[in-house]
Amino acid sequence: MRSRCPGLIAICLAVVVAATGAGEVAKPAADEKPYVPVAGQFPPPDAGAYFAGELVAVDHVNRRGALRIDGDNSEDRYHSAPPHRFALLPYGTIRYHGAPAELRDVPIGTHLHGYFVLPPEGDKAIPPATSQFVPKTNHALSLEDDLSFYQQRGQAWKVVSVELKYDASSPAFKKGEWKRTPVTGKLNVVSTGTTAKDGRSGAVMFEVDRSTRFWKGREAAELEDLAPDADWKLKDNVRTADLKSLAPERVVQLNLTWAADSEHRQFHCADVWLDQESLALAAEQQRRIHLRHQHHRWLAGWIDHVEHQDGGKGIVTVTLFGGMDPALYDDVRAQKKPGGGAAIAVGEKTLRTYWQNHDHKGGPVVGVTDVANPPPGSSGLQVRVQIGELLEGYRPGRIVRLRPNGWPNVKTPPEERVLGDRFKAVDDP
């Protein structure tokens, strides 16, 4: 029996677009205007305007949020302008701590880097910007924290010097117990490795204090662990360390957040990773969170083609979106073997589904294709599934979630399901 869910019949009938393959890319506009997304097409490699800012609001269910864009020495823009509200495109990706993530994983206050395009034609997810300081490009192709952004591009930070101002009134200071003394300080760094095209580079100073989290190996560290005790010099209540001649060099990755002088692009270090082991641990922890989330919500993609067969049957071809952990795609590829299969649930552009655990159809996987050099947003992985009964929502261009055999088939939380007006998108993050 066909699903009775109106989201799979009436609503799904409203969106019918032409199909394109996993490797097909929308052509850039000849006049170089900002890219406008088209349903069923992935963007060209150079699409997207770069912006960075502090995450100040999140509607994780509908993949929306707001950034306070980095200051540019303009008090009007930073202190008076509204935040830059955004919606993630269906194939838009998020990385946090060097691994794939969801908006729900990223704490408010995290400094993010993103690439943004204009809204799709007729899309009213985000009201048009009314301030001259807020970009009209409000649909995100990607969002990354500082660690992920610079690490992906081969850039890191070499610590040049550290200056720490201790609270001289603290009993711990009088005892020389530096790690127990309240402190404010400056971390002077210079970029190293491959210079990222966007973002910061060269010599930069960031704020640090006892709220800054330092990670060394598999443990938490302290400010003073940036350099051996012998390298520190004390004058009055200020302790400094010069690391220029330190061997091996202290190369770190950072995550940033708001500072009192953010108007002038000053930032506070929220996290500092001191070595590769601590970076690998952070990435693995986030990766595990990501895997659990995808196992229960399933992999998102869109339908490329439907081959109709007698008796309401058919073969549905799906291109999965990119940015997921490779192990998840391997689970899909494994379904090509005898006995393998997959289920497909119809979703919306927010990636929300209906009653995912029973409003789906499935069958054996009859084909798996990896397209070389997929465009941004695409995994390049196309899956053909034999369906015993096609749903109305199986239309070219429609967003779906695909579950390979062996993954959990559970009901998602109510706010994550498409239930009419019961859980509407937050219009004002």
Q: Where are the beta strands (DSSP E) in 195-267?
A: 203-209, 213-216, 219-221, 232-235, 238-242, 251-257
Tokens encoding 229? 């005790």
| pLDDT per residue as tens digits for the range 4-61 | 333 333 333 333 333 344 544 454 443 457 899 998 999 999 999 999 999 999 999 9
CATH C-level class of 297-416: mainly beta
| pLDDT per residue as tens digits for the range 177-191 | 999 999 999 999 999
- Residue-wise burial string across 28-38, b where 16 or more C-beta atoms lie within 10 A, e elsewhere: eeeeeeebbbe
Cβ atoms within 10 Å of 124's Cβ, excluding its own: 8
Read off φ and ψ for residue 149, nearest 5 degrees: -60, -50
Q: Judge whether residue 165 has pLDDT over 90.
A: yes
Instruction: Mention every residue, 6+ apart, whose C-beta is less than 8 A from residue 58.
Output: 64, 65, 103, 104, 106, 108, 429
Residue 152: per-residue pLDDT: 96
Q: Judge whether residue 400 has pLDDT over 60.
A: yes
| Cα 424 to Cα 102, 135, 197, 299, distances in angstroms | 19, 25, 38, 23
Q: Is 303 exposed, middle or buried (0-12, 13-18, 19+ CB in 10 A)?
A: buried
What type of residue is 262?
A: S
Q: Is 422 exposed, middle or buried (0-12, 13-18, 19+ CB in 10 A)?
A: exposed
- Residue-wise burial string across 304-319, b where 16 or more C-beta atoms lie within 10 A, e elsewhere: bbbeeeeeeebbbbbb
Residue 424: per-residue pLDDT: 57
Least confident of 22-26, 80-84, 376-380: 22-26
Percent of the chain surpassing pLDDT 70: 90
Mean pLDDT of 62-82: 88
CATH C-level class of 28-151: mainly beta
The string of DSSP codes covering 39-56 is: TT-BPPTT--EEEEEEEE
Q: Is 329 within 8 Å of 320 (Cβ atoms)?
A: yes
- Per the prediction, the chain carries an average pLDDT of 89
- Tell which residue, 251, 247, 144, has the closest CA to residue 189: 251
| pLDDT per residue as tens digits for the range 131-159 | 888 899 999 999 999 999 999 999 999 99
Question: For the whole prediction, is pTM greater than 0.85?
Answer: yes
Q: Judge whether residue 307 has pLDDT over 80.
A: yes
Tokens encoding 212? 């800054």
Cβ atoms within 10 Å of 389's Cβ, excluding its own: 14
Q: Judge whether residue 428 has pLDDT over 90.
A: no
